[in-house]
Amino acid sequence: MNTEAFQQSEKDDLIGLEEQNEISCLIRRFATEQFGYSRMRISSPELIRKMPQPRVNIALNKSLIDLYLRFGKYAYAVHKDKKYIVVARIGFRKNKNGYGTALLKELCLFGEKLGYEYLEIECPNQDCQAFMKKLGFKDEFYLPINQLKRSIQEYELLRQEKVRLTLA
């Protein structure tokens, strides 16, 4: 990966082609690893244009998964000068199987690697809000990525401990 290309795009406040490709690969990899999809169509007007963009929207809708994500800086965000990953829509056919946690972990790793500072979940329903509270979200629907990453690690340790105690 050419980090100079990422740095140049960052200076321009644009998401460059390599970063756009990384976003696409992230979503494809997640869908392949979690659901076994080998072929999928990812929808993104920005990726089709094949030029640096201020923001990238990407969608994936298959029988087991429905995602709509946004990457970039946003005028409506609390921290307007910071890069956000926004989960605008998230749905899985089977709930409570760890897919949401796995996705957020992948987004945190991606965000750290490419300089995104916040992850926001847009308009979460009540089930999503309950899930978010388990992962450290409070009254706000966004968290710094490094804080979310730590919260996910703590959440997973607690779950492992519960399983261990149940088996004992």
Predicted confidence band of residue 146 (pLDDT cuts 50, 70, 90): very high
Q: Model pTM? A: 0.85
CA distance 145 to 118: 5
Contact of 101 with 158, CB cutoff 8 Å? no
Q: What is the pLDDT of residues 76-91, one digit of tens each?
A: 878 888 999 999 988 8
CA–CA separation, 136 and 151 (whole Å): 6
**For position 28, what pLDDT does the model report?**
94
pLDDT at 12 (0 to 100): 63
pLDDT tens per residue, range 31-75: 999 999 988 889 999 999 999 999 999 999 998 999 999 999 988
DSSP 74-136: -TTSSSTTS-EEEEEEEEESS-SSSHHHHHHHHHHHHHHHHT--EEEE-S--HHHHHHHHHTT
Q: Please report, for the chain, how many H helices and E strands are present, in that order.
A: 6, 5
The pLDDT score that the predictor gives to residue 7 is 47
- pLDDT in the model for residue 93: 86
SS3 61: strand
Nearest of 152, 150, 131 to residue 141 by alpha carbon: 131
